[in-house]
């Protein structure tokens, strides 16, 4: 386990370096710079701006400076929000995204697993069809449509929740639902499929033959095997949810990382975009790491290498 | 072990989830603000010198007060920090008398030195102020803000020496004053060396950044931060702590209004030099002189401001707590307004706007009104076939601007046949010909494209936005319908869209301009040869000459005449196709008082108050049946 | 409760293999018994056929604007609406006009080639010690001549295109391919100028929603299908190889996947679309026949294989310890044989399920890009674009329900059918069920 973790950590450093390098050069290859304000700047002024952000130096030197700063954990100032450093933006946005994400995830896992198992057990029945129908609709509609319709229904027709904002409990519910819905649907489908797989395997039939009750068969014996693909889906899902869905955060005006992230990309806020890419990388990597460990925990046949 | 680990796994996840919910709900619910408005996109900074844009303007007008203020309704300049002023007979010298009771939020008095300090910083090349161009009406300000490129031999110059690398970044280095003898490598801004006579001695200076200025320079030269025009040559002068004298390049009728614009705010030197930039704009550190102080700021959420306890005119400020919400999406803003979470929004999705204007009984919270802003299409005149004036005219004649205004916009926007919007005092706009498809087809055929056949593949560029997209779509269809030409549309994100403009990588592109002050020059100056906003490649010597002449003209009537002549040229040559003039699209709750429509769509929050018992239309609804 | 009840307990599985009952035939028989799956299959077939034959249907033109009918509500009476008539005479005369124009092409091509050679010669004649700027200056006339020649050629090519497309364009069709043009002609021969009224309402510019839905289907389906197939072929191969070999191969391959995973792909897409949307690049690409949609296929295809490879690998890891693989190995089967013959068929159910999940995701991603304004460009339409346009006009004061309902339904029904078909296929294809 320890050897595994050490090796993984080394890979992570390598990953971060590659991602850093790729993003760095990719971003500088894109047309449009951070200083393309509506007013063209005097050459002298533009040179000063560039100097302030080290953009006047040759590319390899910029790369070196930037890398050194990142190694010290200093992500620099945001180009577009001059009053903030990237670290501050992350510090403000991350907790919000984490809260929203965990809520959405809890919602997704609970509802998804429940629906998936139910429909696997009652395969072919009306419950199965209905649940899969709902799950499919959850996958089948773009989240901006779901969110838009939710607002019309639950804000204006039945005024239950506020339209937007952040900070109070009733402001959390709608966005968490909208953010979690597609993931719940995925989980329902995946868990149904794998549950069916497991239910047809030998050890389940053996357990049944031994006279183990149907509920126990499903909840104890089958569930463990069926969780495997769900867990492997959770890795990307958690990271995707955590960094926040842009659409949901935008529609509900939530100041999470999701909106920071896409605005940074679209507005060529090099420094902020870069910092968020690195953060996203670390998050995704750790999630995959955890997934691999939980794979081993859940399935004894898999060994950590 | 596996079983325990499994349980542990599940328990950890559950605990995390619970903790998250607890944490989220624990977040102390904010006490509601007296007045809340949706302020569009996230504000870039609180530093008045470096920002531009409407959201920033709304905040900075709350935090800072300038020499003059604008009347919320008429926009006439009225006393701000300056309680009175005198204008010399040649209209080139303004003497401002500051009021004694003006105070910073730390209690210290606001003096003429604060303005002097702020304006020098505003103009300094190292500040890189985007709006610096507005201060170029002040004598020698342009040369000063150009730094090393703005001086020529014989000029009085100042040399700013380097500071240690770890010095606070807002400190200025020691200044040496002298006379410029010559510049070596004058063509290359990177490697210029300045020969300067200081106290009778000639010295050579090599500008370099502090971190580069560590080694020994070439023998006989000294490092310095920068060499620029002596600021004492610039027309800003402190007569005493309460008196500031400003000398202009030429008479500028709108100068009093200009100094009420937020980039001309005073800055508290102590605050800036203690915290450095951008640290000084932190809510905890910032020292400002306006009617409100910032309490806290949450990124992409809100800026909360409270009434200042030190502002000289605090008795006139009636709002206690003000929230500026950062909301990017128009629909979200509208939702917040409709559910009563916002009292003022300044953009409305076009689809909703049309419906709301038609509602019966008429709504009491919406009242579109014209303001000085033009929406137009730029044509890249360096490319075929747009270099042919007949083609440009054909494109203009084939446009049905009425259709655009009624079908897509529908808030009472006016079709534009000229660049300068109505509302400039003493100026009547010059117009291009109205729609005439027959003539358009004839011109196009004459240019070699009968029925549009063979017309090169072109696209209309616009920045990603719903309204721009629909307009581009409709114009594409109009041109196809009337001229038979096939055009595509292309959207780009704001940043790449601007860089496409600057590199002139487009054929036809959407553009808009909001006047900074009430004078035709804010529009017409754009189109001079090589002008920073003239990304059409169009150049007309006569036009350039007229614009130059207008800047020197003292007689207002004569000046307007020159502007009329120049717009005439513009509308005959059509490097741009005017489309429509904007209207403001504010929605204001009926209980908000002191909110006026005006032709710059500028609404100072300090003038507003809440009056829930108020009945009947408020100031905002004035003029609407 | 028991899953055995749901399983078709028929005799097919007992047919001896010697009779030549192949896996596919067997699966097909099973699938036919699954009613939901068959309904889904037929739904998809109908949708695809309709999409393919859209130009043949008596619909209004998708890009024909009538601003006077802005936001007209769905209307079914009268059912038939007279629309513009196709100008058959003009079409009949086009081949001749095109042939005439084409005779002028070679001369222009030669002129362009000559201008190019001249430029090269002039360039070679210059000395090397000139700066970039000076070179440019010295070659101004040659550059201008080259540009003129290219412009003339492009203009002629455009003229040919315009001559061909003009009759259709006037009616409000986007650029059509040869087959579609033929179908449009047939449509007018069959139905005359009659078109179905706007039973799905009209949009902001008064365009007919029904025909936009049909034309949008063509693009949405192609986007989903092509991109998924690209991602599928990469992902399965990659995942199977990694999972099977294990050890450092697996490690290295999966680390690469991790690294790619950690690159937020919204960036990649935005970057690629902005770089490829750059005027000069786009110009070059268009002349090679590559448009934004094609780029989209490959970008998305190249992104979505990651999940697939990861899932396949996971399955292969747990499968490769199974008995049948061991026995194949002990019988001396080669590694490629084991992967492709023994492991992949066992992955089929997972692959199918992921396929049915990936097509929707691709289509949704296309919608997401439309939301950001980076999706399909007008005059082309896709369901994502329509849904986005629909949601944009939903406001608290007025809901144009038809603009959001119909595109959502089109997307929803298609993806629903895909999912149910996937389930049915899984049941039919699962070899372990077959063993019973």
> Would you list the DSSP string of C254-284?
HHHHHHHHHS-HHHHHHHHHHHHHSHHHHHH
Confidence of residue B418 (pLDDT cuts 50, 70, 90): very high
A9 touches chain C (CB under 8 A): no
For residue B307, the model assigns a pLDDT of: 94
Residues in chain B within 8 Å Cβ distance of C151:
384, 456
Burial (CB < 10 A; 0-12, 13-18, 19+), residue C246, is: middle
Task: State residue C11's pLDDT score.
Answer: 39
Query: In this predicted structure, what is the pLDDT of residue C5?
Result: 39
Residues of B in contact with A89 (CB under 8 A): 299
Q: What is the mean pLDDT of residues A1-28?
A: 81
Nearest CA in chain C to A279: C262
Instruction: Report which of residues A171 and B415 the model is more confident about.
Output: B415
**pLDDT for position B569:** 93
Indicate whether A39 pLDDT > 60: no
B334: nearest CB among C163, C270, C395: C395
Task: Report pLDDT for B20.
Answer: 66
Confidence of residue C6 (pLDDT cuts 50, 70, 90): very low
Interchain contact, C155 vs B456, CB within 8 Å: yes
Task: Look at residue C2 in the predicted model and tell me its pLDDT.
Answer: 37
Q: Rounding to the nearest 10 degrees, give the CA dihedral for residues C158, C163, C165, C166.
A: 120
**Residues of A numbered 39-98 whose beta carbons fall under 8 angstroms of chain C's beta carbons: which are they?**
none
B22 CB contacts (<8 Å, ≥6 apart)?
none
Residue A273 to residue C267, Cβ atoms within 8 A: yes
Q: C198-226 pLDDT, tens per residue?
A: 889 998 888 899 999 999 998 888 888 88
Q: Can you give the pLDDT at residue B28?
A: 58
What are the tens digits of pLDDT across the range A106-133? 888 888 888 888 888 887 778 887 887 7
Token readout for A9 is 């950590």
HEC assignment per residue over B103-141: ECCCCCECCHHHHHHHHHHHHCHHHCCCCHHHHHHECCH
C63 interface with B at CB cutoff 8 Å: yes
Size of interface B-C (CB pairs under 8 A): 103
Greatest Cα pair distance, chain C, in angstroms, is 87
How many other C-beta atoms are found inside a 10 Å radius of the C-beta of residue B585? 22
- B179-231, pLDDT tens digit by residue? 999 888 777 766 788 899 988 888 888 887 777 767 777 777 888 888 889 99
Q: How does strand B201-207 pair with strand B193-198? A: antiparallel
Instruction: Write down the pLDDT at residue B45.
Output: 86
For chain C, list the contacting chains (3+ Cβ pairs, <8 Å). Answer: A, B
The alpha-carbon gap from B451 to the nearest alpha carbon of chain A, in Å, equals: 36
pLDDT value at residue A284: 75
pLDDT band, residue B25 (cuts 50/70/90): low
Residue A272 pLDDT greater than 90, yes or no = no
- In which band, very low, low, confident or very high, does the pLDDT at B166 lie, cut at 50, 70 and 90? confident
Task: Give the pLDDT score at C275.
Answer: 65
Nearest CA in chain C to A266: C270
C65 touches chain B (CB under 8 A): yes
From the candidates A20, A140, A182, A273, which should be mutated to test the interface with C, based on the most C CB atoms within 10 A? A140
Cβ atoms B347, B325 nearer than 8 A: no
pLDDT band at A298 (very low <50, low <70, confident <90, very high): low
Q: Chains meeting B at 3+ CB pairs closer than 8 A?
A: A, C
User: When comparing pLDDT for C145 and C22, which is higher?
Assistant: C145
Q: How far is C429 from chain B (nearest CA, A)?
A: 33
B336 vs A163: CB contact, 8 Å cut-off?
yes
| Average of per-residue pLDDT across B40-46 | 85
Supply the pLDDT for residue C22: 61
Is the per-residue pLDDT at C24 higher than 80?
Answer: no
Q: Please name which of B517, B513, B510, B541 lies closest in space to residue B526, comparing C-alpha atoms.
A: B513
Mean pLDDT of the region B394-419: 90
| Arithmetic mean of pLDDT, A81-90 | 83
What pLDDT was estimated at residue A3?
A: 81
Q: Contacts of residue B5 in chain A, CB cutoff 8 Å? A: 297
pLDDT of residue C10 exceeding 50: no
What average pLDDT does chain B have?
87
- Cβ contacts (< 8 Å) between C398 and chain B: which residues? 351-352, 355
The pLDDT of residue A227 is above 80:
no
pLDDT reported for residue B452:
82
Mean pLDDT for chain C overall: 79
Name the minimum distance, in Å, from the CA of A31 to any CA of chain B: 6
Rounded CA-CA distance C325/C348 in Å is 16
Closest-CA distance, B499 to chain A, in angstroms, reads 5
pLDDT value, residue A44: 56
- Which pLDDT score is estimated for A144? 80
What confidence score (pLDDT) does residue B59 get? 94
ipTM value, please give it.
0.79
> What's residue C8's pLDDT?
40
* A251 CA: distance to closest CA in chain B (Å): 6
Q: Which residue of C has its CA nearest to A195?
A: C3
Residues of chain B positioned with their CB less than 8 A from the CB of C155 = 454, 456
pLDDT higher than threshold 50 for residue A257: yes
| Phi, psi of C246, rounded to the nearest 5 degrees | 60, -160
pLDDT at C42: 93
Q: Comparing C321 with C164, which gets the higher pLDDT?
A: C164
Quickly list H helices, B1-152.
2-26, 54-63, 112-123, 141-145
Residue A264 pLDDT: 78
Task: State the Cα–Cα distance between residues A297 and B3, nearest whole angstrom.
Answer: 8
Give the pLDDT mean for B282-308.
92
Q: How many other C-beta atoms can be found within 10 angstroms of the C-beta atom of residue B554?
A: 12
pLDDT bucket at B11, cuts 50 / 70 / 90: low
Q: Among all residues of chain A, which has the CA nearest to that of B302?
A: A255
Q: Is the pLDDT of residue C432 over 70?
A: no
Model pLDDT, residue B624 = 76
Cβ of C274 within 8 Å of Cβ of B352? The answer is: no
Q: What is the length of chain B? A: 625
Task: Please state whether beta strands B458-463 and B487-492 pair in parallel, antiparallel, or not at all (unpaired).
Answer: parallel
- C358: contact with A, CB 8 A cutoff: no
Give the pLDDT band of residue C274 (cuts 50, 70, 90): low
Taking residues B148-164, what's their average pLDDT?
88
The pLDDT tens digits of the residues spanning B234-263 come to: 999 999 999 999 999 888 888 999 999 999
Choose the weakest-confidence range: A79-93, B450-464, C135-149, C364-378. C364-378
For residue C429, the model assigns a pLDDT of 67
How many CB atoms are closer than 10 A to CB B453? 21
* Angle separating helix axes A143-151 and C344-372, nearest 10 degrees: 60
| Most confident range, picked from A171-180, B570-579, C1-10, C380-389 | B570-579
Report the pLDDT averaged over residues B56-71: 93
How far is residue A264's CA from residue A79's CA, in Å, rounded to a whole number? 9
Question: What mean pLDDT do residues B29-40 have?
Answer: 87
Give yes or no for residue C21 having a pLDDT over 60: no
| Of the listed ranges A196-210, B422-436, C226-240, the one predicted with least confidence | A196-210
Tell me B315's DSSP state.
Answer: G
Q: What is the pLDDT of residue B70?
A: 92
> Distance between CA atoms of C98 and C80, rounded to whole angstroms?
35
CA of A7 to nearest chain C CA: how many angstroms apart?
Answer: 11
- Residue A269 vs residue C7, higher pLDDT: A269
Query: In the predicted model, what is the mean pLDDT of residues B10-34?
Result: 70
């Amino acid at each position: 386990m320890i050897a595994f973790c050490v090796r993984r950590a080394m890979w992570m450093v390598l990953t971060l370096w590659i991602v850093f390098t790729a993003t760095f050069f990719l971003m500088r290859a894109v047309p449009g710079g951070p200083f393309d304000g509506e007013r063209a700047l005097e050459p002298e002024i533009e040179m000063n701006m560039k100097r302030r952000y080290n953009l006047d130096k040759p590319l390899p030197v910029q790369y070196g400076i930037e890398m050194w700063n990142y190694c010290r954990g200093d992500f620099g100032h945001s180009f577009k929000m001059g009053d903030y450093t990237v670290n501050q933006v992350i510090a403000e946005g991350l907790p919000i995204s984490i809260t929203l994400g965990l809520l959405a995830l809890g919602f997704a896992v609970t509802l998804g697993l429940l629906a998936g198992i139910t429909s696997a057990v009652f395969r072919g029945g009306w419950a199965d069809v209905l649940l899969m129908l709902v799950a499919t609709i959850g996958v089948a509609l773009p989240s901006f449509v779901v969110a838009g319709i939710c607002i019309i229904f639950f804000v204006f027709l039945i005024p239950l929740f506020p339209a937007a904002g952040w900070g109070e409990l009733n402001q959390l519910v709608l966005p968490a639902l909208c953010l979690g819905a597609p993931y719940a649907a995925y989980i329902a489908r995946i868990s149904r499929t794998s549950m069916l797989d497991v239910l047809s395997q030998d050890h389940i039939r053996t357990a049944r033959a031994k006279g183990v009750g149907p509920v126990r068969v499903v909840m104890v014996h089958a569930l463990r095997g069926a969780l495997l693909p769900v867990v492997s889906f959770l890795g990307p899902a958690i990271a995707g949810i955590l960094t926040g869905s842009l659409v949901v955060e935008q529609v509900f005006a939530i100041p999470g990382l999701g909106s920071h992230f896409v605005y940074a990309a679209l507005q060529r806020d090099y420094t902020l975009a870069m910092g968020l890419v690195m953060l996203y990388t670390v998050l995704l990597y750790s999630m995959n790491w955890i997934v691999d460990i939980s794979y081993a925990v859940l399935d004894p046949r898999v060994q950590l290498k | 072990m596996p079983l325990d680990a499994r349980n542990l796994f599940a328990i950890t996840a559950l605990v995390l989830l619970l903790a998250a919910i607890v944490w989220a709900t624990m977040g102390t619910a904010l006490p509601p603000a007296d007045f809340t408005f949706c302020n569009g996109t996230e504000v870039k900074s609180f530093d008045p010198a470096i920002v531009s844009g409407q959201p920033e303007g709304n905040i900075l007008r709350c935090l800072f007060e300038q020499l003059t203020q604008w009347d919320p309704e008429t926009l006439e300049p009225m006393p701000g920090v300056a309680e009175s002023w005198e204008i010399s007979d040649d209209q080139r010298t303004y003497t401002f008398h500051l009021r004694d009771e003006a105070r910073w939020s730390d209690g210290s008095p606001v003096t003429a030195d604060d303005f002097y300090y702020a304006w020098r910083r505003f103009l300094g090349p190292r500040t890189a102020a985007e709006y610096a161009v507005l201060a170029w009406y002040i004598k020698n300000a342009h040369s000063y803000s150009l730094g090393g490129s703005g001086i020529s031999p014989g000029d009085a110059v100042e040399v700013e020496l380097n500071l240690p690398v770890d010095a606070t970044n807002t400190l200025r280095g020691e200044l040496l004053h002298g006379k410029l003898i010559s510049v070596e490598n004058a063509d290359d801004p990177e490697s210029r060396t300045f020969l300067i006579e200081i106290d009778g001695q000639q010295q050579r200076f090599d500008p370099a950044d502090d971190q580069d200025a560590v080694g020994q320079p070439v023998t006989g030269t000294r490092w310095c931060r920068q060499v620029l025009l002596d600021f004492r040559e610039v027309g800003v002068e402190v007569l005493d702590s309460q008196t500031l004298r400003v000398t202009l390049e030429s008479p500028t009728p709108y100068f009093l209004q200009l100094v009420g614009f937020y980039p001309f705010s005073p800055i508290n030197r102590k605050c800036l030099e203690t915290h450095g930039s951008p640290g000084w704009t932190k809510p905890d550190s910032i020292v400002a002189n306006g009617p409100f102080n910032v309490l806290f700021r949450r990124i992409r959420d809100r800026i909360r401001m409270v009434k200042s306890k030190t502002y000289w005119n605090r008795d006139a400020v009636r709002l206690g707590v003000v929230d500026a919400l950062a909301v990017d999406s128009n629909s979200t803003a509208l939702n917040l307004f409709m559910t009563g979470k916002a009292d003022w929004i300044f953009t409305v999705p076009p689809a909703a706007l049309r419906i709301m204007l038609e509602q019966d009984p008429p709504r009491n919270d919406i009242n579109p009104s014209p303001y000085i802003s033009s929406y137009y299409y730029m044509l890249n005149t360096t490319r075929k076939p747009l270099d042919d004036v007949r083609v440009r005219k054909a494109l203009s004649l084939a446009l049905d601007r009425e259709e655009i205004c009624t079908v897509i916009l529908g808030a009472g926007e006016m079709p534009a046949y000229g660049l300068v919007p109505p509302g400039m005092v003493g100026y009547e706009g010059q117009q291009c010909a109205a729609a005439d498809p027959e003539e358009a087809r004839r011109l196009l055929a004459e240019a070699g494209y009968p029925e549009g056949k063979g017309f090169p593949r072109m696209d209309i560029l616009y920045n990603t936005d719903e309204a721009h997209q629909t307009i581009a779509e409709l114009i594409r269809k109009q041109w196809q319908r009337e001229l038979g030409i096939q055009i595509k549309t292309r959207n780009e994100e704001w940043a790449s869209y601007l860089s496409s403009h600057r590199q002139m990588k487009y054929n036809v592109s959407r553009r808009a301009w909001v006047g900074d002050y009430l004078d035709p020059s804010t529009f017409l100056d754009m189109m001079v040869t090589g002008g920073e906003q003239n990304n059409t490649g169009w150049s007309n010597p006569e036009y350039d000459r007229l614009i130059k002449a207008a800047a020197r003209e003292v007689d207002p009537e004569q000046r307007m005449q020159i502007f009329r002549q120049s717009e005439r040229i513009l509308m005959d040559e059509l490097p741009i196709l005017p489309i429509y003039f904007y209207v403001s699209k504010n929605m204001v709750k009926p209980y908000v008082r002191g909110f006026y429509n005006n032709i710059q769509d500028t609404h100072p929050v300090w003038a507003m108050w809440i009056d829930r018992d108020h009945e009947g239309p408020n100031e905002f609804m004035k003029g609407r049946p | 409760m028991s899953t055995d009840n749901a399983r078709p307990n028929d005799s097919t599985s007992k047919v001896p293999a010697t009779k030549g009952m192949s896996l596919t035939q067997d699966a097909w028989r099973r699938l036919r018994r699954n009613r939901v799956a068959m309904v889904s299959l037929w739904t998809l077939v109908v949708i695809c056929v309709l999409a393919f034959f859209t130009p043949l249907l008596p619909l209004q033109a998708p890009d024909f604007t009538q601003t006077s009918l802005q936001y007209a509500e769905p209307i079914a009476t009268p059912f038939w609406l007279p629309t513009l008539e196709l100008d058959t005479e003009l079409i009949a005369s086009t081949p001749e006009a095109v042939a005439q124009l084409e005779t002028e092409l070679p001369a222009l091509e030669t002129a362009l080639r000559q201008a190019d050679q001249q430029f090269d010669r002039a360039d070679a004649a210059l000395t090397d010690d000139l700066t970039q700027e000076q070179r440019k200056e010295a070659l101004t006339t040659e550059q201008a001549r080259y540009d003129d020649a290219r412009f003339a050629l492009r203009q002629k090519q455009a003229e040919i295109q315009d001559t061909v497309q003009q009759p259709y364009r006037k009616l409000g069709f986007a650029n059509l391919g040869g087959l579609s043009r033929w179908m449009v002609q047939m449509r007018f021969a069959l139905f005359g100028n009659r078109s179905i009224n706007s039973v799905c309402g009209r949009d902001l510019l008064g365009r007919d929603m029904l025909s936009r839905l049909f034309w949008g289907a063509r693009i949405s389906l192609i986007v989903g299908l092509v991109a998924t197939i690209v991602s599928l072929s990469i992902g399965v191969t990659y995942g199977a190889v990694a999972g099977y070999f294990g050890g450092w191969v697996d490690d290295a391959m999966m680390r690469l996947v991790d690294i790619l995973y950690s690159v937020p792909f919204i960036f990649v897409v935005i970057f690629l679309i902005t770089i490829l949307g750059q005027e000069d690049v786009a110009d070059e690409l268009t002349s090679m026949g590559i448009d934004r949609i094609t780029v989209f296929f490959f970008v998305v295809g190249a992104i979505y294989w990651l999940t697939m490879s990861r899932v396949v690998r996971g399955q292969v890891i747990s499968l490769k310890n199974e008995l049948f693989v061991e026995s194949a190995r002990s019988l001396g089967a080669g590694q490629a044989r084991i992967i492709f013959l023994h492991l992949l068929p066992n992955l089929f159910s997972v692959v199918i399920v992921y396929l049915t999940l990936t097509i929707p995701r691709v289509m949704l991603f296309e919608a997401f890009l439309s939301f950001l304004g980076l999706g399909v460009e007008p005059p082309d339409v896709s369901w994502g674009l329509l849904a986005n346009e629909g949601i944009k006009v939903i406001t608290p004061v007025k809901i144009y329900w038809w603009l959001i309902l119909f595109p959502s339904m089109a997307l929803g029904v298609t993806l629903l059918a895909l999912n149910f078909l996937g389930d049915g296929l899984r049941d039919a294809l699962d070899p372990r069920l077959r063993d019973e």
